Amino acid sequence: MRLVLVGPPGAGKGTQAQFLASHYSIPHISTGDIMRANIKASTPLGLEVKAYMERGELVSDSVTNEMVRNRLNEADASHGFLLDGFPRNVGQAEVLRAILSEKKTPLDAVLELSIKTSEIVARLSGRRICRNCGKAWHVDFEPTQADGTCDACQGELYQREDDKEEVITRRLQVFEEQTAPIISFYRTEGLLITINASGSVSEITERAITALSRIH
């Protein structure tokens, strides 16, 4: 399965990606996670992307495309992958099509998670991430037993810089202006599958697997 997950910030891409990647036994490739790992390790790439991410702006296509090209060349991606957060504009979608066409391994599907803006804001503003294992929790929808501590590994929880209210507004704007056009791009390519991303995490996973089962 070669799959792209698309949807606005907070639609639940990262949450669903964990279950889908495990269901299809494919690697979950999140450009946001790779960038955050580089920031944490203070690599040159991390230093370059930090300010863009904190402002909710897209990182440049040249940096992002190169990062994805390298990641798709790794051995674990040779039998499929789930891309989360890439592509994020039509230029990136065209680069991805070219990379996969060179390898003769086109995408199987693009799964769009569709959700109302009011739900997005509630999901993002209450999200907390574990500094140690990276798992996302939510203060209301998926609370941990002890405030500020990850149930999975006892790591410390933090709020992403870009989950502050003023940055959420900018990220939503960037999604509408730059990312939403890829939805028509993939509809035209005949790859788009849209599911409703409201409801419980397990309901949405089931919807996704049912929708994806129709393509194979």
Residues that bind ligand AP5 (CB under 6 A): 7, 9-15, 31-32, 35, 52-53, 56-59, 64, 85-86, 88, 92, 123-124, 127, 136-138, 141-142, 162, 171, 200-201, 204
Buried b (16+ CB within 10 A) or exposed e, 9-48: bbbbbbbbbbbbbeebebbbbbbbebbbebbeeeeebbee
Q: Are 5 and 113 in contact (CB under 8 A)?
A: yes
Distance of closest approach, residue 98 Cβ to ligand AP5, in angstroms? 15
- Return the number of the residue (83 or 109) whose C-beta is nearest ligand AP5: 83
Distance of closest approach, residue 97 Cβ to ligand AP5, in angstroms? 15
135/90 Cα distance (integer angstroms): 30
Q: Is 50 a catalytic residue?
A: no
Q: Is 170 a catalytic residue?
A: no
Distance of closest approach, residue 175 Cβ to ligand AP5, in angstroms? 8
Q: Is 131 a catalytic residue?
A: no
- Return the number of the residue (183 or 201) whose C-beta is nearest ligand AP5: 201
- Return the number of the residue (12 or 81) whose C-beta is nearest ligand AP5: 12
Q: What distance lies between CA 122 and its chain's CA centroid? A: 18
Of the residues 71, 127, 128, 135, only one is catalytic, namely 127
Distance of closest approach, residue 38 Cβ to ligand AP5, in angstroms? 11
Q: Are 28 and 84 in contact (CB under 8 A)?
A: yes
Closest CB to ligand AP5 belongs to which residue? 32
Of the residues 88, 123, 128, 135, only one is catalytic, namely 88
Question: Which H or E run includes 206?
Answer: helix 201-213
Of the residues 2, 128, 135, 171, only one is catalytic, namely 171
CA angle, residues 212, 75, 153, in degrees to nearest 5 = 75
Q: Which residues contact 45 (CB under 8 A, 6 or more apart)?
A: 35, 38, 63, 67
What DSSP state is assigned to residue 1?
-
Distance of closest approach, residue 4 Cβ to ligand AP5, in angstroms? 11
Q: How far is CA 17 from CA 95, 126, 135, 209, in A?
A: 22, 19, 12, 11
- Return the number of the residue (109 or 171) whose C-beta is nearest ligand AP5: 171
Q: Which residues contact 211 (CB under 8 A, 6 or more apart)?
A: 111, 193, 195
Q: Is 69 a catalytic residue?
A: no
- Return the number of the residue (2 or 171) whose C-beta is nearest ligand AP5: 171
Catalogue the active-site residues.
Answer: 13, 88, 127, 160, 171
